[in-house]
Structure 1
Amino acid sequence: MTAQLPDLNPAQRTEVELLARGKQDKSRTLRDLGHSETPEAAHALLLRTGVWSEARTPYADRLHATTTPLDLPVPPFPDEPRVDLTHLDAWAIDDEGNRDPDDAVSIELLPGGLTRLWVHVADVAALVPPDSALDEAARSRGATLYLPDSTTGMLPDALVEQAGLGLHPTSPALSVSLDLDAEGNADAVDVQLTTVRVTRVTYTQAQARLDAGEAPFVALQRLARASRTLREAEGALSIDLPEVRLKADEHGVTITPLPKPEMRFVVQECMTLAGWGAAIFADDNGIPVPYATQDHPTRSVRGESLSAHWARRRTLARTRFQPAPGPHHGMGLDLYVQVTSPMRRYLDLVVHQQLRAFLAGADPMPGRVMASHIAQAGLNADATRQAERASRRHHTLRFVAAHPEREWTGIVVDRRGAQATLLIPELALDLPLSTSAPLGAELRVTLGDVILPTLGVRATVR
């Protein structure tokens, strides 16, 4: 019966595609062909008949996460007073090929043994005031959509080109400073509108400069280690699970392990410090911002095995965003905001809008208005993250299907009765498996019976 599909008229084919994309919930065509009227059944039929290729992913459509680039006019930066920090070296340290550099770091040695850490963030809120057309469009997206075969920005590419750090000789920024002692304690924090001069480097290049003993990078490493030690003493959790870089197109999929040089940890810790510093500044000045909070872990998990890290992640409650400060227990911080990605995450942009209003002597959004923005953007960002996860799994299974005879090493990271969860580090892929193997066991498996519409795959122990 499926052979009839190529002879269907365009309207009937469109009907099946709409169901596969989650744009309608019924299909007379599928019903007449004897198929169930589900997005998965429609997807399977389109694959079998060659209407869709295996590269086609419908998950963003189903979750209402837009894949259409935003094309709105971007205003120029306003002419306003800024602190000139162009005398400082500043580095935007990212993965190779990063297209939206929105944060950078600088370091200064101060009298009395203090070190001033600067985290500069692209001043996106200068171009995207609350309730502007750009703001409403960004809120409707919630976050930038990163798929293995495409990226759809939360904001227009033209804004990224205008505001991205290191894309021009100097850049406007919102800069968070923390004066830290040798143990990582903060003596003072501040937030200012600045002008910075930023050099872009990759993690690999930054790691080479650290390994060569260049003083600024060694100082950043020292601060990051001290900060991490302090947070761990307050209960911060360390979770280290495999990550891969996944790229896909019509011709195939490539999967490579994500390198984890220490400079990646250093930059992450600097961004965490910036979020902590911005939260302190907002709280001290009574500025309503979306504080990121998290409850205590449900239980304590010790050990550094993959299964321990997997279990530790499962103990974490979901991060909540609220107008009032509260502890983020997973980070070991008494208060925290996300502030370093305003081009990619809407709630970071809200933090910038609120801080910028205060710095300009204007009234920030009232807490109740901001709370409604948090709720709307949170739903849209959730859809974006779900679409990313489903699309990554889809293309990972495409890669698996292209290597049917290959053996993979998997680790049993969880058990529920006779069922286990197997994690294949080389693919960052987890899947269910019926096995009596104990937690932490290493198994050699082949992967087959890939079913893309249901994102299913079967593991067979060798």
Structure 2
Amino acid sequence: MFAYYEEDGDIKAGTILTDNNSSVQMESQFGKRTKVKAANILIRFAAPPPSEAMEAARRLAAEIDTDFLWEAAGADEFGFADLAADYHGKTPSGPEAGAVLLCLHSAPIYFYKKGKGRYKAAPADALAAAKAGLERKAREAELRAEWADQLKSGGLPEPFRAKVYELAHKPDKNSLEYKALIDACGETGLSPARLLDKCGAIPSSQEFHLQAFLLEWFPRGKGFPALTAPPPPPALPAGDAPAFSIDDAATTEIDDAFSVVFRPDGSVRVGIHIAAPALGIAPGSDLDRIAAARLSTVYMPGDKITMLPEALVNQYTLAENRDCAALSLYVEAASDFSIQGLETQADTVRIAANLRHETLEPLFNEDTIKNPAAPDYAFRRELEWLWGFACHLEAARGKADQVQRNDYLFKVVDDQVRISTRQRGNPIDKLVSELMILANSRWGKLLADHNVAGLYRAQTIGKVRMTLRPAPHEGLGLECYAWSTSPLRRYVDMINQRQILAVVREEKPPYSGSDPLLFAALRDFELAYDAYNDFQRKMERYWCLRWLIQEGVQELHAAVLKENLVRFEGLPFVARVTGAPAINPGELIRVAVADFDLLDVELSCRYLATLPAA
């Protein structure tokens, strides 16, 4: 006796060897013996043998019109043997019954399985929807193959054009475009980005990297929605001394300015004036939500993405020849630069000038300070006194005479890049940084002394982190340090400015120490700030490559950092050198560079020679 039976979801034919009440010993058509539950035996038949029965059933099943079978099945649940009898108009043979069984089993959209050998015809609307789904899948499979072939041959399918950067950086892995791209990548051995580049879909490598960043951190784009302009700053007491700012020429978010009043007794009052957007941006407002989402201005060579809309920046930036709202720290200093008193207030400050590094540095530097032969310039007396004050503050922190390193300045105009160096710690840098450190540390202490929550920057055992509690910053030599001097560019500074204003005005602070908004701002800021800095470093590395290509550089000097890691002379670019003998950290070598890769931002660097020690 033979039988059709179900095993592992498949219909099989075999020979019954032994038949018990609950199980049957079967030998499959291929000779494999197995124990099958009696309930899984679907139908028994005397002839033909299993292999012939299965072959005949398959042949007959191919001739069955599934749509006709569905119509013949009716709306009620049925057994396959009964339907086979109705379909053939007689008691079916083993192969005939098997053919209907195979047809039912292989058409799940037509027939719902209700048990062993039992089925129910799908409702008409469900069947129509399932058929439409199959047709759509068939069209998609055809289109997917067509797109993959086009990509392999170096062409870009039209639907891909609007999704190029998404496909390269943050794809929807269920999309048909992505599946076709992966199919083509599998056959060409190229990564998605490389294949898209080969197809001419990435005309700008710079835009390629920018879009990767925007998709991750600015998925809605870098533009601002239409917003109602914030109210103008409230009426504030007027300051009594003109102020000046010091920034590079590209700076539009001018956060800080300084004023100096010399007194007859030799004492000096220094004003550190910080732009005050917190006076106009209310917590929870639309502008505040935008700032809280962006968290910081993003910088990159040749461009930036501001934290706040341009109109608001223009309203609160400390632009020259304007009376500007400011949060001011007034420092009373003796003739020996020692601090005698501090006062914080919100006021209106007249900004007399926006001094720029490019024009100020040739006039105000270590060679011209206290040099009577040097030419005069605006605010010379104030700047030279502030430089002396900054040196005093630096020494008081125990940070004087530190080894200074170079900063690299990138200027991109018309897709051409110029890279220059500027020594960190020159008089301009020292003056500005020390006054900012003074304000940030004293305002952090002000919040701590009044038990008002704030966001602090701390450093212990070399690790820098944000914290909600005042803690030492070992790198700066301070007992606490709260970023508060860049509220146009950093959201944590705006939060701290709101808290400081509340202390000064003797009002209830907007944020309590347990406010979940503070915890969220701290966490989100650290993540975003690290990502923004990583992006800036990546783009600086990218523009270094562009500069090497632009200038046709094939060989250059490099300083050994460790083992085979070197830094190129005059560039913030670190690479691994190949083919070098034993070289020691600090040595200068000459290297050859080639194979510039603007997508991976890499190159090949080959050792040429070790240079004699200077």
Please report the TM-score for the alignment, with normalisation by the length of structure 2.
0.65
Between the aligned partners of 1:37 and 1:74, the Cα distance in structure 2 is: 53
Q: Which of 349, 359, 373 in structure 1 is aligned with 2:494?
A: 349
**Could you tell me whether the CA contact under 8 Å between 1:421 and 1:433 is conserved in 2?**
yes
Number of the residue aligned with 2:198: 48
Query: Alpha carbons of 1:458 and 1:8: their partners in 2 closer, same or farther (altered >3 Å)?
Result: closer
Q: Post-superposition shift, 1:142?
A: 1.3
Assess, with a 3 A threshold, how the Cα gap between structure 1 residues 179 and 29 changes in structure 2: closer, same or farther: farther
Cα distance 1:181–1:30, how it changes in 2: closer, same or farther (>3 A)?
farther
User: C-alpha separation between the residues in 1 aligned to 2:284 and 2:188?
Assistant: 40
Which residue of 1 is the match for residue 166 of structure 2? 18
Residue matched to 2:421: 257
Letter of the aligned partner of 2:168 in structure 1? A
Contact 2:447 2:503 in 1 (8 A): no
Show the counterpart of 1:291. 456
Q: Does 1:121 align with 2:274?
A: yes
Q: Is the 8 A contact 2:156 2:199 kept in 1?
A: no
Which structure 2 residues correspond to residues 298-309 of structure 1 after superposition, within 5 A? none
Residue 268 (structure 1) aligned with residue 433 (structure 2) = yes
Partner Cα distance (1:294, 1:105) in 2: 28
Question: Counterpart of 1:300?
Answer: none
Deviations 1:356-411 (Å, cap 9, x if unpaired)?
22333332111222222222232223322222222222222222233444432211
Identity among equivalent pairs (%): 24
> How far apart are residue 165 of structure 1 and its match?
0.4
Q: CA deviation at 1:459?
A: 1.5
Instruction: Pick from 179, 184, 191 the counterpart of residue 344 of structure 2.
Output: 191
After the TM superposition, which of the residue ranges 280-289 and 170-179 deviates more from structure 2? 280-289
Among 441, 445, 453, the residue aligned to 2:599: 453
Structure 1 segment 55-134 matched on structure 2, within 5 A: 55-56=206-207, 57=209, 58-65=211-218, 68-71=222-225, 72-80=227-235, 82-85=236-239, 87-109=240-262, 114-134=267-287
SS of the aligned residue for 2:191 comes to helix
* Structure 1 counterpart SS, 2:605: strand
Distance in structure 2 (CA, Å) of the matches to 1:250 and 1:48: 25
- The alignment covers a number of residue pairs equal to 433
Aligned equivalents of 2:508 and 2:572: distance in 1?
46
Answer yes or no: is 1:216 the counterpart of 2:362: no
Could you tell me how far apart the structure 1 residues matched to 2:413 and 2:212 are?
16
Matching residue's letter, 2:201:
V
| 1:430 matches 2:574 | yes
Tell me how far 1:247 sits from its aligned partner: 3.4
> What is the DSSP-based 3-state SS (H/G/I as helix, E as strand, rest coil) of the residue aligned with 2:229?
coil
Match of 2:411 among 247, 250, 260: 247
> Separation in 1 of the partners of 2:503 and 2:229?
23
Q: Does 1:162 align with 2:315?
A: yes
In the alignment, residue 383 of structure 1 is paired with which amino acid? A
**Alignment correspondent of 1:402:** 550
Any idea what SS the aligned residue of 2:519 has? helix
Q: Which moved more, 1:136-145 or 1:17-26?
A: 17-26
Moved more, 111-120 or 269-278: 111-120
| CA apart distance, 1:272 | 1.1
On the 8 A contact 2:364/2:428 being kept in 1, the answer is no
Cα distance in structure 2, aligned partners of 1:339 and 1:100 = 15
One-letter code aligned to 1:156: P
Report the Cα distance in structure 1 between the residues aligned to 2:164 and 2:359, rounded to whole angstroms: 49
Q: 1:173 to 1:25 in 2, by over 3 A?
A: farther
Aligned residue number for residue 526 of structure 2: 378
1:64–1:221: structure 2 CA closer, same or farther, 3 Å change rule? same
TM-score, length of structure 1 as denominator length: 0.85
3-state secondary structure, aligned to 1:254: strand
Describe the SS at the equivalent of 1:258: strand
CA contact (8 A) 2:472 2:481 kept: yes
Report what 1:388 is aligned to.
536
Shift in Å, 1:168:
4.8
Question: Contact 2:556/2:569 (CA < 8 Å) preserved in 1?
Answer: no
Q: CA deviation at 1:65?
A: 4.2
In the TM superposition, residue 194 of structure 1 has moved relative to its aligned partner by: 1.0
The residue that corresponds to 2:46 in the other structure is none
Match of 1:339, SS?
A: coil
Measured in 2, the distance between the counterparts of 1:327 and 1:98 equals 31
Question: Could you tell which deviates more after superposition, 280-289 or 250-259?
Answer: 250-259
Alpha-carbon distance between aligned partners in 1 of 2:197 and 2:413, rounded to the nearest angstrom: 16
Determine the C-alpha separation between the residues in 2 that align with 1:373 and 1:37. 45
Contact 1:177/1:274 (8 A) holds in 2: no
| SS of residue matched to 2:577 | strand
Contact 1:141 1:381 in 2 (8 A): no
Structure with the bigger RCO (C-alpha within 8 Å, sep 6+) is 1
In structure 1, which of residues 361, 367, 375 is the aligned counterpart of residue 513 of structure 2?
367
Q: What SS is found at the alignment partner of 1:179?
A: strand
Over 6 Å off, 4+ runs: none
Deviation at 1:352, TM superposition (A): 0.8
Distance 2:450 2:524 in 1: 26
Look up the match of 2:588: 442
Whether the 8 Å CA contact 1:449–1:458 is kept in 2: the answer is yes
Task: For residue 367 of structure 1, give the secondary structure of its aligned residue in structure 2.
Answer: coil
**What amino acid does structure 1 have at the position aligned with 2:384?**
V
Question: Quick one: which amino acid aligns to residue 238 of structure 2?
Answer: D
Change (3 A) 1:343 1:272: same
Q: Contact between 2:245 and 2:258, CA under 8 Å: does it hold in 1?
A: yes
Cα distance between partner residues in 1 of 2:414 and 2:447:
47
Q: CA deviation at 1:200?
A: 0.5
Secondary structure of 1:104's counterpart equals: strand
1:280 paired residue number: 445
Q: Residue 224 and residue 240 in structure 1: after superposition, are their counterparts in 2 closer, same or farther (change >3 A)?
A: same
Specify the structure having the higher radius of gyration (Cα): 2
Q: Which amino acid aligns with 2:504?
A: L
| Partner of residue 320, structure 1 | 465
Give 1:309's aligned residue.
none
Partner of 2:357: 203
Code of the aligned partner of 1:333: L
Residue 151 (1) aligns with residue 304 (2): yes
Assess if the C-alpha contact under 8 Å between 1:177 and 1:277 holds in 2: no
Q: Which is worse superposed, 94-103 or 355-364?
A: 355-364
Quote the Cα distance in structure 2 between the aligned partners of 1:446 and 1:193.
57
Q: 1:167 to 1:352 in 2, by over 3 A?
A: same
Deviation at 1:99, TM superposition (A): 1.5
Are the structure 2 counterparts of residues 114 and 134 from structure 1 closer, same or farther at C-alpha, using a change threshold of 3 Å? same
Aligned amino acid, residue 311 of structure 2: A
Q: Over the residues paired in the alignment, what is the CA RMSD in angstroms? A: 2.8
Amino acid at match of 2:479: D
